[in-house]
Structure 1
């Protein structure tokens, strides 16, 4: 997704995650080993990160890679995943704020994706 639309979506997601996590671009750049100018270029949709940096970014924010590259603003907010997760684990997520619920779900998805990738690599 190296199109200009993809770069813009990625930039929006980076800005959102920085804001939600109260992280400065400087601290983020240091953590993933790039310059602040590079973070600025990504955030403004000028350039797109290499795949290894995408992985570092997802790990830094504790989200799945899809949350960096997919349009999060237009996602359906009424999905059933919080209910399914709660039913599976016997945990009532309904009282958590929507952001916290989604973050738990995203971390669980990332974990499962990692398990699947490890399994597939061994086959």
Structure 2
């Protein structure tokens, strides 16, 4: 791969992690101790950072150096997890398969937090009654 390709990959990965962690260029410059114009050149793919700066960036984001320098577009779709964990995957699948759960989710998004908490407590109470538990708050 050409050096130009490497700079473009690095630039894309830097922008990705900046977006992911909501960091500005100035915040990155301050954290890495580099000039704004130097960092801008990295982000635009005009130049490539030295290895010590790559390591600083990796540590700053809590990732490996490879996460910054390697192209991750060639990963197979099956290798890339869609959900971060199994519980999230299971909940999403249940909501997909059950229109009532989907409706409940959509309605809950529009309820103010204090009212949502009251509705949740009410539903927990109903669930406890169905199981034959005494009528007590959850």
Q: TM-score range by the shorter chain?
A: 0.5 to 0.7
Alignment RMSD (CA, Å): 2.3
Residues 7-43 of structure 1, C-alpha deviations (whole Å, 9 max, x = no match):
0000000011101100001001100110111111001
Residues 63-117 of structure 1, C-alpha deviations (whole Å, 9 max, x = no match):
111110111233224228x7xxxxxxxxx932358xxxxxxxxxxxxxxxxxxxx
- Quick one: distance in 1 between partners of 2:56 and 2:22? 18
- Establish whether residue 20 from structure 1 lines up as the match of residue 20 from structure 2: yes
- 2:41 counterpart residue number: 41
- The structure with the larger Rg is 2
- Quick one: distance in 1 between partners of 2:71 and 2:88? 23
Provide structure 1 residue ranges, at least 5 long, that are not aligned to the other structure: 83-91, 98-123
The answer to which structure, 1 or 2, has the higher relative contact order (CA under 8 A, 6+ apart) is 1
- Quick one: distance in 2 between partners of 1:67 and 1:96? 24
Provide structure 2 residue ranges, at least 5 long, that are not aligned to the other structure: 90-138
Output the TM-score relative to the length of structure 1. Answer: 0.63
Q: Which runs of 4+ in 1 moved over 4 A?
A: none
SS where residue 78 of structure 1 aligns? helix
- Quick one: distance in 1 between partners of 2:38 and 2:2? 16
SS where residue 95 of structure 1 aligns? helix
- How many residue pairs get aligned? The number is 87
